[in-house]
Structure 1
Amino acid sequence: MILNSFILLISLFLPSEQRRQEDIPVYSYEIVNVYPHDTTAFTQGLFFKDGYLYESTGQVDQSTIRKVELETGNTVQVEKFPAGIFGEGIIDWGDRLIGLSWRRQTGFEWDINSFKMKGTFEYQGEGWGLTRNSTHILMSDGTPDIRFLDPETLNEVRRIEVKAQGRPLINLNELEWVDGEIFANIWQTDFIARINPENGDVIGLINLRGLLSREDIIPGYTDVLNGIAVNAEGKLFVTGKYWPKLFEIRLVKIK
Structure 2
Amino acid sequence: MKLQNMRIYKYLTLLALPLTIITSCSETSYKFKLNTSKKVNLGDNAAIKFEQIKGNAIDSVHIYINNKRINNKETSIVINTNDFGVGKHAVTAVVFYPKKSKKLNNSIEILANKKPELYKYKIINTFPHDKNAYTQGLEFYNGFLYETTGKRGKSSLRKVELQTGKILQKIDLNKKYFGEGMTIFNNKIYWLTWQARKGFIYDLETFKKLGEFNYSNSNEGWGLTHSKEELIKSDGTNKIWFLNPNNQQEKRSIQAYTNKVSLEKLNELELINGKIYANYWQKPLIAIINPKNGVVEGIIDLKGLVKEMEKTQRLVDEDDVLNGIAYNPENNHIYVTGKHWGKLFEIELVKQ
SS of residue matched to 1:164: coil
Scaled by the length of structure 1, the TM-score of the pair is 0.89
Alignment-mate amino acid for residue 62 of structure 1: K
CA distance in 2, matches of 1:23, 1:175: 21
- Confirm or deny that 1:227 pairs with 2:324: yes
Per the alignment, residue 120 of structure 1 pairs with: 212
**Over the residues paired in the alignment, what is the CA RMSD in angstroms?**
1.5
Alignment-mate amino acid for residue 242 of structure 1: H
In structure 2, relative to structure 1, the CA distance for the partners of 1:217 and 1:120 (3 Å cut) is same
- Confirm or deny that 1:177 pairs with 2:271: yes
Q: 1:57 aligns with which of 149, 161, 165?
A: 149
- Confirm or deny that 1:149 pairs with 2:243: yes
CA distance in 1, matches of 2:329, 2:293: 27
| 1:81-101 Cα shifts (integer Å, max 9, x gaps) | 112111000011113111111
- Confirm or deny that 1:216 pairs with 2:308: no
CA distance in 1, matches of 2:312, 2:341: 8
Contact 2:115 2:258 in 1 (8 A): no
Deviation of 1:21 (Å): 5.5
CA distance in 1, matches of 2:170, 2:118: 37
Alignment-mate amino acid for residue 40 of structure 1: N
Q: Can you give the 5+ residue segments of structure 1 that lack an aligned partner in the other structure?
A: 1-19
Task: Give the aligned length.
Answer: 235
- Runs of 4+ deviating beyond 6 Å: none
- Confirm or deny that 1:237 pairs with 2:335: yes
CA distance in 1, matches of 2:300, 2:167: 29
SS of residue matched to 2:311: helix
Q: Within 5 Å, which residues of 2 pair with 1:68-79? A: 68-79=160-171
SS of residue matched to 1:168: coil
Q: Within 5 Å, which residues of 2 pair with 1:154-169? A: 154-169=248-263
CA distance in 2, matches of 1:72, 1:27: 28
CA distance in 2, matches of 1:215, 1:24: 30
Q: 1:47 aligns with which of 125, 131, 139?
A: 139
Q: 1:24 aligns with which of 110, 116, 141?
A: 116
| 1:175-204 Cα shifts (integer Å, max 9, x gaps) | 000001000001110110000010000000
CA distance in 1, matches of 2:114, 2:256: 16
Larger radius of gyration: 2
| 1:104-152 Cα shifts (integer Å, max 9, x gaps) | 1010111111111111110140100000111111000011110000111
CA distance in 2, matches of 1:39, 1:176: 22
Per the alignment, residue 3 of structure 1 pairs with: none
- Confirm or deny that 1:91 pairs with 2:183: yes
SS of residue matched to 2:277: strand
